[in-house]
Amino acid sequence: MVKAAVLGATGYAGAELVRLLSFHPEVEIVYLASHSYAGKKFSDIYPAMRGVCDMILSDDDISKASADADVLFMALPAGIASEAVTPELLSKCAVIDLGADFRLHDSTVYETWYKKEHKHPDLLKDAVYGLPEIHRSAIKGKRLIANPGCYTTCSILTLYPLVKNALIDTSTIIIDAKSGTSGAGRSEKVTSLYCEVNESIKAYGVTSHRHTPEIEQELSEAAGENIVLQFTPHLVPMNRGILSCCYARLKPGVGPEDVKKAYTIYDGEAFIRVSSDIPETKHVTGTNFVDISYRVDERTGNVIAIGAIDNLVKGAAGQAVQNMNIISGLDETAGLLAAAGPAF
């Protein structure tokens, strides 16, 4: 059994992680921490988990958590992990950081976009970007996994076959993405209040969203060239889900059959479903699946690739469990094969 600890267990991503780990056949949860709710039962905060996880929440004692656990999940705001994760900590347990602190290879890029000093830039060389469908072999056996962001997971996986196979003019990439409000976290914010979000849709982080350099980094590596792209996220009045509509100009001579062949790169991937049907967020809700489809517009010479994920599962907690399975030598799909419920 893998002994797991979760810091930030009562945030939306952390709570989803606890739910998944509670039903994982090869996991024992040994430590749950929540600075806001220390001393209370997890099921007091999330009553749906009564009888499933009634563990008493502790404060964020990383020393205690690392002593008890094989794998430490950190579902905390940016800036905390970069200070807390040390070589000493990694000698005790593997760390899967659901935050942004180890996703970017260059600490100066991190500090530019996140406006925070990176406390351990020396560890960036040891961190692996935890997108299994692309970096599976690098993840195996590693001690520090940077769990990708939600927008990035959806956008990178949707575009990767086109970029990897050099089918598009990468200077023309535009990503138009929508997210449910759980992506903003559980803390109290005026912009996340029901009356502010309901019956409205808005763009935010225009030209400045922090997931931009993450997407550029991974697609640049796939392309073998530096990519600068346009990414615009939107907030929509639903609880969870991300839909990424990605646009790019096809290179001369590239046609529908070339695009179709490119997406066969995902053949055999347990969590990626490439289909002719246009993805919808409700078809992946509560699951670790990525639904992808595309259209070639021969009139304009563009390709439109569309991806959908659950931002709290494949975009956060589910992907973290997938990474845990890989580094622990377990079946990669263990604890993650739930399907979406009926779409009523």
User: Is 118 within 8 Å of 94 (Cβ atoms)?
Assistant: no
Q: Which of 217, 240, 238, 239 is nearest to 228 (CA)?
A: 217
In this structure, what token pair is assigned to residue 142? Answer: 């590693």
CA 231 vs. chain centroid, Å, equals 16
> SS3 for 339?
coil
Active-site residue, 53 included: no
Strand pairing category for 71-74 and 168-179: unpaired
Q: Which of 287, 285, 194 is nearest to 235 (CA)?
A: 194
Task: Give one DSSP letter per residue of 148-213, joined into a string.
Answer: PPHHHHHHHHHHHHHHHTT-EEEEEEEEEEEE-GGGG-SS--GGGSHHHHTT--EE-STTT-TTHH
Burial of 21 from C-beta contacts in 10 A (0-12 / 13-18 / 19+): buried
DSSP label at 258?
Answer: H
Catalytic residue among 150, 154, 195, 246: 150
Four-CA torsion 159, 123, 324, 327, nearest 10 degrees: 100
> SS3 for 273?
strand
User: Is 178 within 8 Å of 156 (Cβ atoms)?
Assistant: no
Give the length of the chain. Answer: 344
In this structure, what token pair is assigned to residue 30? Answer: 């040994």
The Cα-based distances of 184 to 12, 18, 158, 237, 281 in angstroms read 9, 19, 22, 12, 17
Q: Which of 79, 88, 202, 148 is nearest to 323 (CA)?
A: 148
Identity of the amino acid at 2: V
Distance CA 329, CA 344 (A): 38
Residue numbers annotated as active site: 150
